[in-house]
Structure 1
Amino acid sequence: MTVTLFSFVAMFDQQLATAVHLLDTGEAHAGGPGFLDWRLIDDMAPLRFQLRVIVNFSRSWPARVAGLEPPADIADDLDLPGFRIAIADARAYLASLTPAQFDGREDAPLTVALGTSMEPTLPAAKWLTGFATTNIYFHLSITYAILRSKGVKIGKTDLFAGGL
């Protein structure tokens, strides 16, 4: 199997599918949408923030690497149906991308502002394989941890709900 930049599109789609599974499982446990405001600890961002980052990064980083304008970030006040729509839209966006859009883009320099204090320029491959992937997995793991901390019956295999 050859790993290319386009390979990350399928991986990000799998993580979005896992996010849906965690969303469904959290809703079933909580009995309603209030779980979107659960936090791992008080000074950390809530579950809704974790999901927002997963959706936004899954769309915006492949777009940047492919040389496309990144889709607008999803709203930060989405409700449960809104998250379901946003995730479905993100998966449809990823499905619209093609391998040709990523060909030869490994070393394309991308300069991206990170907050107000950093604006590094890195090769596209570094952004996608290191920064974006790490952030998606981090926020997916925090989503899992928030749910577990509230007694949701999930295990390690739930992180592979979207596939291996």
Structure 2
Amino acid sequence: MPLSVHAAAFAGIIQTLKALSAILDKAVAQAEARKIQPDVLLNSRLAPDMLPFTRQIQLACDFAKNAAARVSAGENPKFPDEEKTFPELKERIAKTLAFVQSIDDAALESGIGKDVTFPRGQQQTVTMTAEAYLTRFAVPNFYFHATTAYAILRENGFDIGKRDFLADVFEA
């Protein structure tokens, strides 16, 4: 049986979104125990020219939902970037997860071989095949932002590890 689009791209995205949600729970608990103000973490960066933690979570969610919508030719929900708390970030992850899980596998498969056009900045668009979009743009960007969010917490001394990031990998 050939590898499906869902198995190749979205099973890992779903697993990682669930892991990010659980990691946020751990971060909140550890921040409370260490008396760290949430805003300190939400605004933390790995480097001065990188985006803060909150934006990393927002972008990971955006790449997940955009990929699902664009490849399946489905309606793409808009999530305004207004999250200012850990519970709000968890809600964004939950909405993203629900959306990605709602996409029909047949719709994903039917998108393969078709072109996907997406914005690049404010003025330009890029068009590539759905396969190239998933493998060279959407999925790598999703993991970049998810991993950066994880790394920001590690940099701040939070007790999370690879097993937290991989979460259910041995359960699948």
Task: Using structure 2 for the length normalisation, give the TM-score.
Answer: 0.85
Aligned 8 A contact 1:12 1:58 in 2: yes
Q: Which residue of 2 aligns with 1:46?
A: 52
Aligned partner (choices 91, 103, 106) of residue 109 of structure 2: 103
Identity of aligned residues (%): 31
More helix per residue:
2
- Alignment correspondent of 1:24: 25
* 1:117 Cα deviation after fit: 6.1
SS at match of 1:78: coil
Give the Cα separation in 2 of the matches to 1:70 and 1:162.
Answer: 27
Equivalent position amino acid for 2:23 in 1? L
Deviation at 1:58, TM superposition (A): 1.1
The aligned counterpart of 2:10 is 9
User: Is residue 119 of structure 2 the alignment partner of residue 113 of structure 1?
Assistant: yes
SS in 2 for 1:90: helix
Within the candidate set 119, 136, 145, 1:139 is matched to: 145
Is there any run of 5+ residues in structure 2 with no aligned partner, and where? none
Structure 1 segments unaligned to the other structure (5+ residues):
none
Match for residue 165 of structure 2 among 132, 136, 159: 159
Of 123, 129, 147, 2:129 maps to: 123
Calculate the aligned-residue CA RMSD, in Å: 1.8
Runs of 4+ aligned structure 1 residues displaced above 4 Å come to none
Amino acid at match of 1:114: R
Residue of structure 2 equivalent to 1:73: 79
- The AA in structure 2 aligned to 1:120 is V
Structure 2 counterpart of 1:33, one-letter code? P
How far off is 1:118 after superposition?
A: 4.5
Say whether the 8 Å CA contact 2:66–2:76 is kept in structure 1.
Answer: yes
Asked whether the 8 Å contact 1:63–1:69 carries over to 2, the reply is: yes
1:88 to 76, 89, 94: 94
| TM-score normalised by L of structure 1 | 0.89
Cα distance in 1 between the residues matched to 2:168 and 2:76: 24
Q: CA deviation at 1:51?
A: 0.3
**Amino acid paired to 2:21:** V
Any idea what SS the aligned residue of 1:122 has? strand
